[in-house]
A and B are shown apart, each in its own frame.
Chain A
């Protein structure tokens, strides 16, 4: 509301009074799109496979054995014959031991990074998560896992792919956010 409008409006009587008020306009919500990208290093992706039936019980046995080693795991996913998850590199040995103790087969890939694409209010920007995944795959990045939060999408990728993924996300989204 500008001064001229006020003079014509219901406040005209108050205009002579001193008014203390915040000056100018306050900027609020972040623009749409990805506003920052962050990289966390030092993870291993573990794929446990060839588990026997019943699968749910076999998976629980693996998780119990990993928990016994006091290891916190992330990005847990069920696969048709087992499960996969991500642990810090420093826990790799403990996980190897835990998985072998239950007689399961595993493959571990080190040098994994978590790339976080931050964008506000992800859920209400319909299609944004799909666009991010599509952009990531089209950049040639092989994605091991992904997750999402209210303000970020997380990709687990090889350290070798981080640069290409960051460039693709910046090109595809950060320009749009400005």
Chain B
């Protein structure tokens, strides 16, 4: 049985016309002799009636001061995909093709019980196979599975977190031994840069699993790394295609030589705030304890760090702007006893102006012998631009090219960061478009 898993994102199921275009792709696959299994996301994007954010607002909007439980949020979020799957199945049926909607649990997706960010433990595709054998096109809700807990009579619904529908598609592809998994979206495939910033950015015809996972890690919204990981583990051919054009799309392949291309892409993250802590006033004997406490605090509050820097002069890291207020709040007036005899205490000031909390703590600690104030230096309005390319990054002079290009354009670089496949620069958000376009032009030209 030749199975093809076809996943359609929010924009591909947003309107009746879009759903018709998507449905015709499914029917075309069937006519070519495949047994299609469809995976759908919720209908539309943020702000639209059936989008996930709109559903969440129904619950969160009741009283913003009362935080809903993660379990309840999973229940409401899953509705978006359920609705989408029923509508899509009916669209196929109206075109003369028997179809049935399946919730994640009905499709056999078993999860680890973590509400809001579950991982897939296993998939038993028996139910889907039964449908396929009868000529039915299954339409599976993306982004969800079930957790079976021994003490509970039924099973608990879990959502899979970011990129959940891509993950559903890859997992079903593996479980059904699919010939291919196709991720349909509203662009032609994986681009070398965000087409909103670089209109002529070409579509990559082949890219490795690792590269696509890395560009997603660094901000590109093409395919979720979890889906790439599953596809890589099970050697499933994976494609990113456009629902609305006949472009051949991008094939995601194993780590083979890809001649003729050196830069996978120039990507960018969202809005960041760069925080630096000058450790000049920290006694060298206390430094490691102080640093460890800073990172423990960040971990405790689940802060997502970018550009982590540890130098002899201090430490630095960037955080998403939406997390910044919380970070500033958690560090403000934080008291850090570091020596075992507690004679030295560090007090953190997280903004230029002394807060009431800081003033109160200072007063309370005034009786101690050795209280040292450590200030956070905050740079708001930053963003991170990254160059991804496994072979290219190893080439001598790449950093020079990047920094020289930005320097010539008078774009200041606040910090840099790199890994095996990528290098990143932290730049002012106001220079984002120019930075991406210039680096794309320079580096894809060089390559």
Contacts and interface: CB of A to CB of B under 8 A. Distances in A.
Interface of A: 1, 6, 10-11, 14-15, 17, 19-22, 24-32, 47, 56-57, 59-60, 63-64, 66-67, 69-80, 84, 120-124, 126-131, 133-134, 137-138, 140, 142-152, 154
Contact of B422 (A78, A130, A131, A149): A149
A70 B404 CA distance: 17
B397 A126 contact: no
Contact of A154 (B313, B394, B414, B419): B419
Q: Which applies to chain A's interface (DSSP): helix, strand, loop or mixed? A: mixed
Interface in B154-213: 161-163, 167, 171, 174-177, 213
Contacts of B303: 126-127, 130
Interface in B96-111: 100, 106, 108, 110
Given A11-B134, A84-B311, A120 B177 contact: no
A100 to B, nearest CB: 18
Contacts of A148: 308, 417, 419
Most buried by B among A30, A126, A145, A146: A126
B122 interface: yes
16 contacts: A22-B125, A25-B122, A26-B123, A26-B234, A28-B120, A28-B233, A29-B121, A29-B230, A63-B399, A74-B418, A76-B423, A80-B313, A123-B225, A134-B292, A146-B308, A150-B225
Given A122-B217, A127-B301, A137-B292, A22 B403 contact: no
Nearest to A14: B134
A24 B124 contact: yes
Q: Which 6 pairs from chain A and chain B are nearest by CB?
A: A150-B217, A67-B397, A134-B295, A130-B298, A127-B302, A25-B122
Contact of B295 (A69, A71, A130): A130
A29 B304 contact: no
Given A26-B175, A134-B295, A32 B119 contact: yes
Contact of B177 (A22, A129, A140): A22
A147 B417 contact: yes
A142 B284 CA distance: 12
A1 to B, nearest CB: 4
B310 interface: yes
B427 to A, nearest CB: 12
A152 B217 CA distance: 11
A55 B285 CA distance: 30
Contacts of A66: 396, 400
Contact of B304 (A30, A127, A152): A127
A121 B100 contact: no
Most buried by B among A47, A70, A129: A129
A85 B174 CA distance: 42
B304 to A, nearest CB: 5
A24 to B, nearest CB: 7
A43 B117 CA distance: 38
Contacts of A32: 119
Given A28-B123, A150-B214, A22 B176 contact: yes
B292 A11 contact: no
Contacts of B288: 137-138, 140, 142
Contacts of A30: 229
B309 A77 contact: yes
B32 interface: no
B400 A149 contact: no
Contacts of B130: 6, 11, 14-15, 19
A128 B122 CA distance: 24
B334 interface: no
Contact of B418 (A11, A29, A76): A76
A28 B407 contact: no
Contacts of B300: 127
A131 B296 CA distance: 6
Contacts of B409: none
Given A27-B121, A143-B310, A11 B295 contact: no
Contact of B121 (A28, A69, A80): A28
A68 B142 CA distance: 51
Contacts of A56: 403, 407, 412-413
A147 B308 CA distance: 7
Nearest to A128: B299
B192 to A, nearest CB: 18
A87 B217 CA distance: 25
Contact of A77 (B162, B214, B311): B311
B362 interface: no
B151 interface: no
Contacts of B176: 22
Contacts of A124: 117, 161-163, 226
Nearest to B226: A121
B229 A121 contact: yes
B129 interface: yes
A22 B176 CA distance: 7
Nearest to B397: A67
Nearest to B315: A133
